[in-house]
Structure 1
Amino acid sequence: RLARPASAQAGVGGYSYLYEPLWWAGMITMIVGEVANFAAYAFAPAILVTPLGALSIIISAVLADIMLKEKLHIFGILGCVLCVVGSTTIVLHAPQEREIESVAEVWDLATEPAFIFYAIIVLAATFVLIFRYIPQYGQTHIMVYIGVCSLVGSLSVMSVKALGIALKLTFSGINQLIYPQTWLFAIIVVACILTQMNYLNKALDTFNTA
């Protein structure tokens, strides 16, 4: 239905998928899954939660093969195998994460020079991809969309971790909502999610799901 000429497709900047009940059904189930993932960040080290989240790639690839009849080629199978091997290796050899007692502590880590430098590099690369390379190569090279989603996602991990800890501590009686940093992290999480959702839908519309 979204391929009809009357509807502007996501791949060319349209948002007609927002009128599709099936898209919203998928989005709601995805949100439920992400809430569970979000809770995991509050109770487990990020270095364990993030690689395990990559296993959803395998589920998506298999479902695309079964439901959308998109053939999973040898490179797709190899990619799935590498996801499993990489995730397993990271989980088995993950270093011990230190206990974090407040949002202020996460803020101190986020404002260290090394992380600020990293964030600036990531934001610069993201803007270059969005404003220079997506208009030129968005219809032919999937990596420009994947690059935006991955770069923005790398920044969201710190904010999701901070927000998860803030809510966990608040529910346990130590109110973290009084700190402006909590709300700043919440804004960053929302901005990252909206950016990833937008460019992921463009990629799904333009390229094969698997």
Structure 2
Amino acid sequence: MDFSSDNLKGFVLALLSSGFIGTSFIIKKKGLRRAAASGVRAGFGGYSYLWEPLWWIGMITMIVGEVANFVAYAFAPAVLVTPLGALSIIVSAVLAHFILKERLHELRVLGCVMCITGSVIIVIHAPQELPITSVQEIWSMATQTDFLLYVVSVIVLVFILVFHFVPQCGHTNVLVFTGICSLMGSLSVMSVKALGTSLKLTFEGTNQLIYPETWFFMLVVVTCVITQMNYLNKALHTFNTAIVSPIYYVMFTTLTILASVIMFKDWDGQSGGSIVSEICGFIVVLSGTILLHVTKDFDKSPSIRSSYVPSSPSLSTRLCSEDEELLKHGEEDVTSSVDFCLRRQELY
């Protein structure tokens, strides 16, 4: 199929976004390591990294990446842009291998190849969006019956999760916090796309800031993003990142694509073969992403792993003390061991 100029711009911006965001993780980690050498580590409540220029370079790099991702939604459909976010994981994994000397396990290489392959399939079969000339057109899409039903369903599910499931099992079931983030995330992406398109039209000479719909979409973006970040932080604080990240990515990406298909009719006019190819590419990307996350700790030192099962509370305390001493000298691989030891001491 033909690759429109807008799809090409969105594709390039999404690639740049992944590159900047993936690189920012490495720069910030190097900044955190430098800061830890002269102050209290961030993991133990220290803020010395705020005076580390390298950390701020990483933060600025991440902001540039997020802005590029925001603009990408103004040009290309969410079906194309959202799955490409997985490429940032590849960038950070490869750079970590060469810069941070973190070995790239063979299975992680396979995960990278799967993400790239799935992304290529999605790009080749990406749908063409109909040209939008005003924010009022987007408003008519957002107020169509099908999408309103989706919005109502999301809001009801979020309220049920927040007021019923969070008090009961929010801190034992990872799906509760990640579910709230993903549901709100699908609405935030639709609003980001609407807002981005409005700003794009404004910069092209057709002022959309005079319409209340533009400001409404901005309000939705702010509300959804704040809610997302709140519950994502809760999820990351409560559960292991290796569990939260792939589950959140799968749920968020799936719901975002579903919302985009309903609101913007991304698949209208596409052949069945193209739709099936996009779904297959999406599944390959998700599989590669999950593989990248579940294999990220395969090369931890066996001696460190052995400390996960101490035979007595006193031995547990001794191992914790040893690991904390290593941390003071900048050893990164014992972070999870210290966390385990602290949790185990609480049991006694």
TM-score tier after normalising by the smaller chain length: 0.7 to 0.9
**Structure 2 contact 136–213 (Cα < 8 Å) conserved:** yes
Provide closer, same or farther for how the CA distance between residues 86 and 195 of structure 1 changes in structure 2, counting only shifts above 3 A.
farther
Alignment of 1:101-112 (within 5 A): 101-112=133-144
* RMSD of aligned alpha carbons: 3.4
Matched residue SS, 1:31 = helix
Take 2:111 and 2:166, find their aligned partners in 1: how far apart are those partners? 24
Percent identity, aligned pairs only? Answer: 63
Residue equivalent to 1:178: 210
Provide closer, same or farther for how the CA distance between residues 155 and 86 of structure 1 changes in structure 2, counting only shifts above 3 A.
farther
Matched residue SS, 1:55 = helix
Any stretches of 5+ residues in structure 1 without a counterpart? Answer: 8-16
Residue equivalent to 2:240: 208
Equivalent residue for 1:47, pick from 68, 73, 79: 79
Residue equivalent to 1:10: none
Provide closer, same or farther for how the CA distance between residues 38 and 93 of structure 1 changes in structure 2, counting only shifts above 3 A.
same
> How far off is 1:169 after superposition?
1.2
Take 1:58 and 1:174, find their aligned partners in 2: how far apart are those partners? 39
Residue equivalent to 2:158: 126
The code of the aligned residue for 1:92 comes to: I
**Structure 1 contact 48–90 (Cα < 8 Å) conserved:** yes
Bigger mean CA offset, 107-116 vs 48-57: 48-57
What's the TM-score, normalizing by structure 1?
Answer: 0.75
Bigger mean CA offset, 25-34 vs 148-157: 25-34
Q: Does 1:138 align with 2:170?
A: yes
Provide closer, same or farther for how the CA distance between residues 62 and 178 of structure 1 changes in structure 2, counting only shifts above 3 A.
same
The code of the aligned residue for 2:126 comes to: A
Q: Does 1:147 align with 2:179?
A: yes
Any stretches of 5+ residues in structure 2 without a counterpart? Answer: 1-40, 243-348
Provide closer, same or farther for how the CA distance between residues 152 and 163 of structure 1 changes in structure 2, counting only shifts above 3 A.
same
**Structure 2 contact 77–127 (Cα < 8 Å) conserved:** no
Matched residue SS, 2:241 = coil
> How far off is 1:123 after superposition?
1.0
Take 1:81 and 1:137, find their aligned partners in 2: how far apart are those partners? 37
Take 1:201 and 1:153, find their aligned partners in 2: how far apart are those partners? 14
The code of the aligned residue for 1:114 comes to: D
Provide closer, same or farther for how the CA distance between residues 201 and 57 of structure 1 changes in structure 2, counting only shifts above 3 A.
farther
Provide closer, same or farther for how the CA distance between residues 178 and 165 of structure 1 changes in structure 2, counting only shifts above 3 A.
same
Q: Which structure is larger by alpha-carbon Rg, 1 or 2?
A: 2
**Structure 2 contact 166–177 (Cα < 8 Å) conserved:** yes
Q: How many residues align?
A: 195
Residue equivalent to 2:68: 36
Take 2:168 and 2:90, find their aligned partners in 1: how far apart are those partners? 30
Take 1:62 and 1:198, find their aligned partners in 2: how far apart are those partners? 30
